[in-house]
Amino acid sequence: MSIRDRLQRWGESDTAVPEQVFVMEDSLKLEKSSFHELKSRIHQKLLDRVDLSVMEKLPPDRLTNELRTLVEQLLIEEKIPINLTERGSLVSDIQHEILGLGPLEPLLADPTISDILVNTYKQVYVERRGKLELTGAHFADNRHLLRIIDRIVSRIGRRVDESSPMVDARLPDGSRVNAIIPPLALDGPLLSIRRFPVSPLKIDDLIQNKSLTPAMAEVIAGLVKSKCNLLISGGTGSGKTTLLNIMSGFIPATERIVTIEDAAELQLQQPHVVRLETRPPNVEGKGEVTQRALVRNSLRMRPDRIIIGEVRGSEAMDMLQAMNTGHEGSMTTVHANTPRDAVSRIENMVNMAETNLPAKAVRQQISSAIWVVVQVSRMSDGKRKLISLQEITGMEGDIITMQEIFTYTQMGVDNNGMIQGHFHATGIRPKFAERLKVFGVSLRDELFDPDRIFK
């Protein structure tokens, strides 16, 4: 609320509002506006004088010094006195404008931020530790925001305009980007950036954060090593891709891995990884390469394992075929609220391939292809947890049968809004234990003891 708005509450009072208070507020607005105008003017003059292709090749320290020198020269020409703090801020902002992502650069440099959400040029939210908060960052106008979006997507050969107003892209550090512009976005361009840690998380980090238990971690490691096909299910922002990255870390370095994604974001650490990415259609509506085409092509690339970032459509059919024809140990993710819903979604996506298979045949394919469904969730307090690990055991009539091995039980919420609950095993010893034993992975009986509770 502005000073003027707050003082309007004195309206019923006989006390007059000093006019100099309004003058002070208006002058502050003028100074802020003048600074943005000055920055835009200096920025444009710099673009007229320098060769960006040459400046991009300079080391960061030298680039900063060169920009500072040029900005000081231009300030002398403009005859506008500013203090050292404003001068430093101006140099930094212009450097970000020329070679970076403008107002987003400070946010991208903050390791505590996991999501950056731009709601038109006026509003930028970030997510820290699972909670959204409004920042003071903003763009000059919607055209400014559009320039930044275009800079992001053009780096990877994609485009966004009125004929193609939605785009998925990525930043050089692997962060996932989604942008949508008018006419689909009514109020102005929208930009969402999902960031990933500079140092990929390990399974020990999830245990330390109480996202899962040591017993769960041991079973998951055994499943990956023994080449069981795994499906990770969860909602938006629940940590599916993070868990997929961590689980892939248990794949032996001697195996050839092919990854298939809409926007490449997986950060596998093995030496023999082949990364494939879909391609959208061009201006004429031609040249599109879908995930289904990449899955089919990957079968000719001699993969030991195929990892699909997320199944969204008809590629689910080819994925199941691959899992059932010798490419064991494959993994993927799917949006679903429960393991049972995840299986149903896979069935629906197989039907999108228009194979005209009867429902029972599709379910038999699913039950024989997928061994385990891992359910992850973002709780109301912002924390991510592995809330269920279920084994697909086969078919009973027309129904796929599943049994839960581990679960998380929520007991309530404390006064600070933090979730209270515990992990525990259900007491069922899984059928996949025999397969793990064949691969030299022995699961101790105490891992499945239902009386062992982890808070």
Is the Cα dihedral 233, 178, 354, 321 positive or negative?
negative
Cα(340)–Cα(404) distance, rounded to whole angstroms? 11
In this structure, are residues 280 and 288 in contact, taking their beta carbons and an 8 Å threshold?
A: yes
Q: Long-range CB contacts (< 8 A, 24+ apart) of 82-90?
A: 86/35, 90/35, 90/38, 90/39, 90/42
Q: Name the strand (E) or helix (H) holding 220.
A: helix 214-225
User: Per DSSP, what are the bridge partners of residue 232?
Assistant: 333, 374
Q: Which CATH number fits domain 104-194: 1.10.3720.10, 3.30.450.370, 2.40.50.140, 3.90.550.10?
A: 3.30.450.370
Query: Tell me: the pLDDT tens digits for 58-106?
Result: 777 777 777 777 777 777 777 766 677 777 777 777 777 776 788 898 8
What is the pLDDT, as a whole number, of residue 55?
66
Computed over every residue of the chain, the mean pLDDT equals 84
Q: How far is the C-alpha of 114 from the C-alpha of 447, rounded, in Å?
A: 33
Q: Which residue has the tokens 């006026």?
A: 122
The correct answer on CATH 3.30.70.330 for the domain covering 203-454 is no
- pLDDT tens profile 230-259: 999 999 888 898 999 999 999 999 999 999
Q: How far apart are CA 125 and CA 190, in angstroms?
A: 12
Dist. CA 309–CA 332, nearest whole Å = 6
What are the tokens at 368?
Answer: 């024989």
Record the tokens describing residue 298, joined without a space.
Answer: 């990957």
Query: How is residue 444 written in tokens?
Result: 């101790």
Contact 126, 113 (CB under 8 A): yes
Rg (CA), the chain: 27
Confidence band of 56 (pLDDT split at 50, 70, 90): low
For the chain, give every domain's residue range: 23-99, 104-194, 203-454
Cα distance between residue 61 and residue 78, in whole Å:
26
